[in-house]
Structure 1
């Protein structure tokens, strides 16, 4: 895991999404599509460095937060802008589709 993706907890989540654009990957270790998406988010985090922050939240460890944002399927990427959810991407989409959705948010 690179230094470009922050692992969030319920304590660090509010500050992580408070300012700018943050892409949060709601994932679980047992989720095969989540594991497939991990290297893709690494690439995107490098591409969007300075424009968007990337973070991960383990839904098994922080269930109330995932429930707060209505995460019912994994992986779910929620794009936050200044603390507010702006877009939601459910499933392990191809990198080009993910890139386009993040670019739209910027």
Structure 2
């Protein structure tokens, strides 16, 4: 994992995502997914740029199918924003950096 990016798993989901007080960005991805590889550097940039204001996690959907199913992940990459344990927004597909930044900025206020 890149600096500032946490590997999300079924074991740490409750603590890292649902129990987080700050805004949380979760990248739902898989190793075989080409668009996921395109989005990965953008997600890593967000972790650096918003350090201290945004918690960034990556969840491998192949390794954590129960969580992917719970949030009805139909396509990857899916980038989901959480606050106080609740899903508040999402983007599906390989979105450009400016689009992800706009979403994050809107929720950071």
Q: TM-score, normalised by structure 1?
A: 0.96
Which structure 2 segments of 5+ residues have no match? Answer: none
Q: Retained in 1: the 8 A contact 2:81–2:87?
A: yes
- What is the aligned residue count? 106
Report the equivalent of 1:54.
56
Q: Secondary structure at the match of 2:24?
A: strand
Q: Retained in 1: the 8 A contact 2:25–2:82?
A: yes
Displacement, 1:3?
Answer: 2.5
Report the equivalent of 1:3.
3
Which structure 1 segments of 5+ residues have no match? Answer: none
Moved over 2 A (4+): none
Displacement, 1:88?
Answer: 0.8
> Of the candidates 24, 42, 45, which is equivalent to residue 26 of structure 2?
24
Instruction: Deviation per CA, 1:30-76: give whole Å up to 9, x if none.
Output: 00000111111111111111110000000001101001001110000
Q: TM-score, normalised by structure 2?
A: 0.94
Residue 36 of structure 1 pairs with residue 56 of structure 2: no
Alpha-carbon distance in 2 for matches of 1:81, 1:42: 20
